[in-house]
Every structure is written in structure tokens, then in C-alpha cells.
Structure 1
Amino acid sequence: MHDIRSIRENPKAFDAGLARRGLAPQSAALLATDERARALTTEMQAVLAQRNEASKAIGAARARRDDPTDLMAEVAALKERLPLIETEQKQVAEELSAALAAIPNLPLGDVPKGAGEDDNALVHERGTLPDFAFTPAEHDAIGPALGLDFDTGVKLSGARFTLLRGHAARLHSALGQFMLATLSGEHGYEQVVPPLLVRDEAVFGTGQLPKFADDLFRTTDGRWLIPTAEVSLTNIVRESILSEDELPLRFTALTACFRSEAGAAGRDTRGFIRQHQFEKAEMVSITTPDQSEAEHERMTAAAEDILTKLGLPFRRMKLCTGDMGFTAARTYDLEVWLPGQARYREISSCSTCGDFQARRMSARYRPAGEKGTRFVHTLNGSGLAVGRTLVAVIENYQQEGGAVAVPEALRAFMGGVERLEPR
């Protein structure tokens, strides 16, 4: 959510930020609506003052035994007029709030301008690409013999659902627990088990509503299945005032996530890359504004540490303005190498949102020694998407004949198993 006061103070800067996102100027329309709302507020206050003065004059007239009929008529007219102004003022204020809520966050100055993923900037590459003595296969060719049961998933639930059994199920569970153990044990994230169903206010707070409702699943009682634990974790501080010494707060959770993939028709219809239901280890940080830059680097490094420990080659990309999410001010994507596809694929996104989500959630903190409050800064990132990490392990650790070596870092989570044999 944007601050209308900031737009009043510097409308050109606001429109320039939108232009970098490829959007038309909007400050003039917003300020016109804002001016109308403020004018109605002023008018409402003036009518209230007139009514109060006329009411006092009625009392004084009666004390003097004068006829108060004209004054009483004036008060009656003002009482009739007041709710009309109040209704209009509320409508205009809601119109302004809705308009502000529909505008994406402004990119930070170092975000490269661009239209899409081809304009993203490489930050660095890590790891060594595997060298196979055979032609590496894609995970959907190797996976079924290891327990990636695509056919049964479709039979049970339809397209973009997969049943995991045997080796695949065990590897999937081990990856999730390894991620949680690393994030909570080595990087200081507090482990949380959050609700998977949330109210409208929660998905509004993190920016999925109202614009992206079609990307979500909704229950018959009006709750939403979370598309990511970011929603639950970030909203822990909704409608809160924290003390500065409580910050930063760092949360992690391993949850199922649910996405309709409404905007991904025809993409990744094969395999385990893009599912309606998947698991992800999420990181969320709540910080003061002066901490958020360092926290973004810290969070991204935590996700990179998991990939490094698993021995998976990856690269960090800084997303351009046209490829960033709605709430992000800057996003780093981590892309893992998939030898079967001979390409890098996204496995984590780590974003800093500034105070954009905090304004939607009314999440504040009180700086030490100050009476007033400020909005916190929020950050979120994947550490990592479990299904995509499973795909990366299968493809990078595949052996001739379809077996898969278990990365050393995972063996303690798999009872010492070192190799998964196809069935």
C-alpha cells in the first residue's frame, strides 16, 4: 500500500517509479480523489460546527424567551445534510484506498529496468556443473521408478497433482526437514507451524488480494488456502506495535502451499515443476528500515547455503522491474541447474518489500526513545521450494541406469541411505 502523503509531496517521483514498472502515471488521478476526500472531510467538520453553534443558539434563545423556530429549522436541515456528506466522504475515501491498494510497490533504485525475465541481471554463479558420462535424463523420466507417481496424482485430483511414494516420498520429507533444521539451527529463524487457511485480511496484507484472487483457492466458508507460508508468517505482526528491541523477527515454516496457476496455462505441464499443491520452506523477516538492506542479503545467503550444502549448482539473479512480484521492491531469484533440461530454473525468490506490506497490515514499531511509531519493513524468501529441490537432486545426482545418489547432507535425514535404486 502506498502512502498518499508521500505522493502529495513528490508526485513526479511516484510516477517515475511506476514508469520503471512499465505503468502509466497515476498521481494526478490519485491526488484528485484525495483532494475530494479531504474537501468532504472539511465540509463535514464545518457542518458539524454549524450544527453545534445553532444548537447553542437555540438554548440561548429559549433562555431569553425568544422564538427559536428558525434556529430549529436550521439545525434540522444541517442534521439532514450531514449523513449525505458522511456517506459521500466514506465512498470517496474507499475509492482512494482501493486505488492505492491496486498499485504495485515501487522498485528500488538498483533494480534493473526491463520487460521480463530476459532482462534480469546475473549477480553470481556458484558450484560446478555435473559432468556425466551418459546423456542425463529429465526428472519425469527417472522419477516414476523412484516413486514420483504422476498418473495416480492425476487420477486422484486432476492435472498438476502428483502422488509421492517410496524413495521419492522419503527424499521429499528429508529435504523439508533438512531445510528447517538449517534455517532454524544455523540461521536463527524461529520455527513456526502456521494455519494453512487464512482470512481475507491476511491475504490482503501480503498483497494477494484483491488483484490476484484468481491465483488462489478459496473454501466454501470464505477462507483462503495459503499460496505460501509468507501469508501466515508475515501477518503474525498484523495490527501490532512492536518495540525496536524486538526486531528483527525471523520466522520459518515448512508448509503445503496451494496455487491455482491461473496465469501459467501451458507451462510446465509435465513433471513436478509446477503443481497446484507443493511444499516450501519459507523465511520471513520483520525489521526496522535501516536493517532491511542487510537483511535481504542475509536471507538470500541463507537460501544459498542450503543449495551449497546439497552440492547443487546455482546462480543468483536480480529481477528486473518487469519481472518482479506485486509487493516487491527488489527480488533475488536463485536458479538451480537442471542437467536433464540443460538450463537453470527458479528454486527460490527472496524479496524485500519495504513498508509496502506493513501499511496494508498496520504493522508498526516504536523506535527507542520516541513516542511516535513507524512502519516495519518486511522481507520474504523461499528456503527452498521442496519439490523443485527434489527435482534438482534427482537430475544432478542421477546415475546411469536410473539410480540417484543421496547428497551427503541429506543422509542423516534418510537413516544413512546413500543411494536410491529404481524399482
Structure 2
Amino acid sequence: MHDIRAIRDDPAAFDRALARRFLPPESARLLSLDERRRELIAEAQSAQERRNSLSKEIGAAKKAKDEARAAALMEEVAGLKERLATLEAQEREAIAALDKALAEIPNILADEVPDGPDESANVERSNWGTPRRSNSAREHFDIGEALGLMDFEIAAKLSGARFTVLKGQLARLERALGQLMIDIHTQEHGYTEVSAPLLVRDHALYGTAQLPKFAEDQFGVGEDLWLIPTAEVSLTNLVREQILSEDELPLRYTALTPCFRREAGSAGRDTRGMLRQHQFWKCELVSITTPETSGAEHERMLSCAETVLQRLELPYRVMILSSGDTGFAARKTYDIEVWLPGQNTFREISSCSVCGEFQARRMGARFRRDGKPHFVHTLNGSGIAVGRALIAVLETYQNDDGSVTVPSALAPYMGGITRIERV
């Protein structure tokens, strides 16, 4: 959500910021809506002041026993009462129209975000490890199906496309990956583990900006309830409608949860295998900070996510997303892309974003400094996507005989299993 006062102060700067996202100017439309809202507020205030003044005049007229004047004044008060009701209704409509317009506009990008239309303009910031390049490496679905532990056919019978059934040691490997991630972030990085609802109400998705723009990507469950597309929704909304003490910040939360997405905007992409699923596990990281520390917190969050891949010894690179590829709520995003030998390419496994006060305005999340409330800054990141980590492990640690070596970092979670073989 944007501050209409800032747009009013410098509409040209706001339109230039939208142009970086390849969007048309919006300041004139927004300021027109704002002007209508302000006119109605002023008119209502004027009518209320006149009504208050008339009440005094009525008292004076009655005291003077001027019943005719008192009756005329009372008639005017009755008319003002009706007028005020109409103005208040119009004011609510004007506020709703402005809020709706503001809610549909993405966040302003940080100055250092590279300009470009799409992912082709993303910039590599760093890389780690040496990718294994091989024309003979198999993709994860071939490996999993050959092991007899990954079943897409039965999943389709149960639930349709974009679902997977994992069995035996692969199911355990998935669980081990999630446990490794949550242990690293809670025991080494100081995040507080949270078990929060997987079903949230409209206002929670609105607060993190999945609604209203991305409603088609969400799974609705009954009236005013949605399955979370990411634990970012639950974790970030833990501070909604609160005024925190500055001493409490930063707050760092993590959760290992299933996530649910319709993937409506990705029809035809990655239809085979586990890369793009309607249901998947993810370890999420969320930070709530002051404005001055959010930049450093972004770097810290990225490092926390990288630790998981380094511990698993999975080669990856870090990309700074371009202006045309940065998500709706983000000011700046780092994508971590893991190397997949089966595809001979890097694929996204984590996004770490700083959102500034964009989400905080939508949630009403603030902190107190010098006696005054200020909006917090919010950050979110994958620490990391469990399903994609499973894919990377299968493809990176595959052996010529069809088995998969278990990474040493997962040994404490695998009950002595060091090699996954067909049973």
C-alpha cells in the first residue's frame, strides 16, 4: 500500500517509479480520487460545524421564546442530519475507491535494482560450488520413478495434475530436509519457530499483498478462508494491527509448512515432475525490522538461506532480480538458483525480498519511537523450498547404478540410511 501524501508531494517521482516496472502513470488518477475524498471530508466537516452552531442558536431562540425561529433552525438541523448521512456514505465510498486503487499498484523498487523487462535482465551477484555438467544425468522424476518411490500416476488419480506421492526413503528424505532447515534457522540463526494456521482470512492475504491481485493463484476454502500459498502470510501477519516497542525489533520467525498454490499463471510450464506443484513443503523466513536496519537484514536473510545449500553441498548462484521480474510486494529481491544436473541449468529454490513498509501499511503494523508510531519494515524469504531441495539432492547425488547417496548433512535425520536404493 502506498502513502497518498507522498504521491501528492511528488507525483512525477511516483510515475517514474512505476515506469521502472513498465507500468503506465497513475498519479493523476490517484490524486483525483484523493481530491474527491478530501472534498467530501471537508464538506462533511463544514456541515457538522454548521449543525453544532445551529444547536446553540436553537437554545438561544428557545431561551428568547422565539418559537418560530427555533422551529426554522430545527428544520435546518434535520436537513443537515440527512445531508451528513449522505456525505458519510459518499466519503466511505471515496475512501474505498482510493484504497482499492492504491492496493492494485506494486511496491516502489529500490534504486539499486537493475532495470530490465524480465528475468533476462537479472544480474548474477555471486555463486558457490562447481556445477556438475553431464549429458547423462537423469532428471529427478526419472530417478524417483526408477526407485519405485515417486508416483505421479497415483497422485493424479487422488488429486489431479501437479501433485506427487513420495514413499519410503524418499518420503523420509523430504522430511529430513525440512528438519535440517528448521534446525539450522532456529539453532544457528536465531529465528523463532512458529506453528501457525494453514487457513487464513481475506485480510491476512491482503496484508501480504496476495489479495486482491493474485486471487486466481490461491485456493479458497469456504467463505473468507484460504489455504496459505506460503507461511509468509501467517508469519508476517503475527504483527498486524500492533504497535511494537522498538526494543523488540528485529523479530525473526520461521515455519516449516505445506504451501498451496493454483499456479494459475504458469500454465504449461514444468508440467512434469515436482518443480511446480499445487502442494509443497517450504521453510519460510520472515523478519520485522526498523527502516534503518532492513537493508542489512536482507543481506542476513540471504546468508541464512545460502547456509542450507552450502550444508547440503549443492552448487548455486545468487541473482538480483531486475525491475521487470521483481514481485509485486518487493522493493528488492535476491533469487537463489540451485544447479540441477538433470536439466543442466540453474533453477530458483529461494527468493529473499525486502518489502519496506508496503506490507506494514496494509496490515497496520507499527513500532513506537520517541513516542510516535512508525511503520515497520517486513522481509520474507524461502529458507528453503523443500521439494526443490529434494530435486537438487536427487539429481546431484545420483549414482550410475540408479541409487542416490544421502548428503552427509542429512545423516542425523535419516536413521543410518546413507544410500537410497530400489527396494
Normalising by structure 1, report the TM-score: 0.98
Equivalent AA in structure 2 for residue 125 of structure 1? N
Identity percentage of aligned residues:
58
Q: 1:218 aligns with which of 209, 217, 220?
A: 220
Equivalent AA in structure 2 for residue 239 of structure 1? E
How far, CA to CA, are the matches of 1:123 and 1:321 in structure 2?
15
Specify the alignment match of 1:263 in structure 2: 265
1:224-263 alignment to 2 at 5 Å? 224-263=226-265
Equivalent AA in structure 1 for residue 326 of structure 2? M
Specify the alignment match of 1:381 in structure 2: 381
Specify the alignment match of 1:141 in structure 2: 142
Q: Aligned pairs, how many? A: 420
Specify the alignment match of 1:166 in structure 2: 168
DSSP-derived class of the 1:373 partner: strand
Deviation at 1:130, TM superposition (A): 2.4
Q: Is the 8 A contact 2:298 2:379 kept in 1?
A: yes
Deviation at 1:198, TM superposition (A): 0.5
Specify the alignment match of 1:34 in structure 2: 34
Equivalent AA in structure 2 for residue 98 of structure 1? K
Specify the alignment match of 2:193 in structure 1: 191
Deviation at 1:313, TM superposition (A): 0.4
Specify the alignment match of 1:288 in structure 2: 290
Specify the alignment match of 2:372 in structure 1: 372
Specify the alignment match of 2:157 in structure 1: 155
Pick which of 213-222 and 327-336 moved more: 213-222
1:6-25 alignment to 2 at 5 Å? 6-25=6-25
Equivalent AA in structure 1 for residue 52 of structure 2? N
Q: Is the 8 A contact 2:47 2:80 kept in 1?
A: yes
Deviations 1:135-187 (A, max 9, x none): 11111111113311111111111100101101210110000000000111111
**1:411 corresponds to 2:422:** no
DSSP-derived class of the 1:143 partner: helix
Specify the alignment match of 1:308 in structure 2: 310
5+ residue gaps, structure 1: none
Q: 1:94 to 1:131 in 2, by over 3 A?
A: closer
Deviation at 1:84, TM superposition (A): 1.1
Equivalent AA in structure 2 for residue 36 of structure 1? R
How far, CA to CA, are the matches of 2:81 and 2:2 in structure 1?
35
Specify the alignment match of 1:113 in structure 2: 115
Equivalent AA in structure 1 for residue 359 of structure 2? Q
Deviation at 1:72, TM superposition (A): 2.0
Pick which of 338-347 and 147-156 moved more: 147-156
Deviation at 1:82, TM superposition (A): 1.2
**1:85 corresponds to 2:91:** no
How far, CA to CA, are the matches of 1:371 and 1:220 in structure 2?
42
Q: Is the 8 A contact 2:133 2:344 kept in 1?
A: no
DSSP-derived class of the 1:263 partner: helix
How far, CA to CA, are the matches of 1:70 and 1:226 in structure 2?
60
5+ residue gaps, structure 2: none
DSSP-derived class of the 1:299 partner: helix
1:316-327 alignment to 2 at 5 Å? 316-327=318-329
DSSP-derived class of the 2:256 partner: strand
How far, CA to CA, are the matches of 1:400 and 1:55 in structure 2?
92
Deviation at 1:131, TM superposition (A): 5.7
How far, CA to CA, are the matches of 1:218 and 1:253 in structure 2?
21
Deviation at 1:401, TM superposition (A): 1.9
The Cα RMSD (Å) is 1.0
How far, CA to CA, are the matches of 1:301 and 1:416 in structure 2?
29
Equivalent AA in structure 1 for residue 254 of structure 2? T
Specify the alignment match of 1:274 in structure 2: 276
Specify the alignment match of 2:345 in structure 1: 343
Equivalent AA in structure 2 for residue 409 of structure 1? A
